[in-house]
A and B are shown apart, each in its own frame.
Chain A
Amino acid sequence: MSARSSDQALTRALRALADAEARVETPAHVETAIMALWDARHDQAQTAPTRRRIVRGAAAIAAGVTIVGSVALQRDLADRPIAPPRSPAISFDRAASPRVAPAISDAADTPAPGAADRHPSPGANDARSALVVMGDPIATGEIVHIVRMRVMRSALTELGIAANASTEMVDVDVLVGEDGVARGLRVSL
């Protein structure tokens, strides 16, 4: 087959394909889908400014409340007298402590049978221990609970207590008053 006739055949075949393709139309559902997308997009665009206005209003209100609250808090703190700082750590002899001794003797020094064997008190076997008093003093006759905890030694160092434990974790007794507020902390030195 010569080059000329090949070209002619190719042109003919291309023309036939072009004619066949000219009759092909995009299905109608494509237009429906595109116009639905248009509608959805423009509905969204119309509702967006309203939503944006609501969000801006809410943000402004929240900012106002925060500012008023912080000003009120500042004023309240300024009016309140500043209490003298308490001693962070009181080193005491257990038997000689007049204020906390009764409470401790009620709850801590009379443990349940066998409890001391399992979890010895941080100050039970040591000659010296430290008591950090915090909050209100323990009232006479007030029932004090002792919660035994294990804390990081670094946490005690921050309170000014140098515990003699060799490990990173130190056992401490937390004295908890009837109101559930911690009143003191006992740790062996």
Chain B
Amino acid sequence: MRHEGEVSDDDLMRRTAAGDRDAFAAVYRKHHSVVFRFARLMTGSNETAEDIVQEVFLGLMRGASRYDPARASLTTYLYGSARHQIRRRLLRDRLFVSLDDSGSDPCPAHVVGSAVEELSRERDVREMRRAILALPSKYREVIVLCDLQDVSYADAASALSCAIGTVRSRLHRARQLLTQKLQRSRACALVPARPTVRCEV
């Protein structure tokens, strides 16, 4: 018996198209995380990300026979499908839902260096998440794929249906925008709150 990890995506997809339930389950277990994280970072909502994972894998289930490994890797195909679903969802909702920070950032004890460092790190993560969600969609996509999901420029270009040069230029612009946003938010945080003065009448 072969281990799941040894089976190639092409083989799994062929078996999925033939109606092999185990193969489809293996495809899901192998790729669900990247789709979920991508959707979560793009929408800022766990619930929406769950819906998108369902939609993406439902689409894969329906169109397994249409998948062509010569055109793109399965990961790229899934990113493209997730992107399509996210765009549809964002167009429909027209707003972002803020992340529930209390439940979405599990932080195990062994990661914590010190309490101060950890608080600072959590604040940075929160700020960065807000800044990314505030980016226009085309810049958010490249930041999430290339900087957060470690997808290569070529794969990102394939998933986003654009040229590699476009990915590079969007990434450059996205980083500039992020830097500006982070500097602005830090500057706001440094301004002391105005003291409350009680007026005597």
A residues adjacent to B (C-beta < 8 A): 1, 6-7, 9-10, 12-14, 16-18, 20-27, 30-31, 33-35, 37-39, 41-42, 45
Contact = CB atoms under 8 A, between A and B. Distances in A.
Given A21-B148, A24-B40, 14 more contacts: A7-B179, A13-B182, A18-B148, A21-B41, A23-B108, A24-B106, A25-B36, A26-B35, A26-B50, A26-B53, A31-B25, A37-B54, A38-B61, A41-B61
Secondary structure of the A side of the interface? helix
Contacts of B62: 41
A16 to B, nearest CB: 5
A16 B108 CA distance: 14
Interface in B143-190: 143, 147-150, 175, 178-179, 182-183
16 contacts: A6-B183, A7-B179, A9-B179, A13-B128, A14-B148, A17-B129, A17-B148, A18-B149, A21-B40, A24-B33, A24-B104, A24-B106, A26-B53, A27-B46, A34-B61, A38-B21
Those 9 A-B pairs whose CB atoms lie nearest each other, nearest first = A26-B36, A13-B128, A17-B128, A26-B32, A18-B148, A13-B124, A14-B147, A20-B125, A6-B179
Interface in B43-85: 46, 50, 53-54, 57-58, 61-62
B58 A34 contact: yes
Nearest to B49: A26
A2 B37 CA distance: 32
A31 B32 contact: yes
Contacts of A34: 28, 53-54, 57-58, 61
Given A26-B32, A37-B61, A38-B21, A17 B125 contact: yes
A147 B66 CA distance: 70
B84 to A, nearest CB: 18
Contact of B182 (A9, A26, A30, A41): A9
A30 B25 contact: no
A38 B24 contact: yes
A24 B179 contact: no
Main secondary structure of the interface of B (DSSP, over half): helix
Contacts of B21: 35, 38-39, 42
B107 to A, nearest CB: 8
Nearest to A1: B183
Given A10-B178, A18-B147, A34-B58, A27 B125 contact: no
A41 B148 CA distance: 35
Contacts of A14: 128, 143, 147-148
Contacts of B28: 31, 34-35
A20 B105 contact: yes
B50 A27 contact: yes
Contacts of B33: 24-26
B121 interface: yes
Given A9-B182, A10-B179, A42-B19, A16 B106 contact: no
Contacts of A1: 183
Contact of B127 (A6, A13, A22, A42): A13
A25 B49 CA distance: 11
B24 A24 contact: no
A18 B21 CA distance: 32
A37 B58 contact: yes
A30 B61 contact: no
Contacts of B19: 42, 45
B61 to A, nearest CB: 6
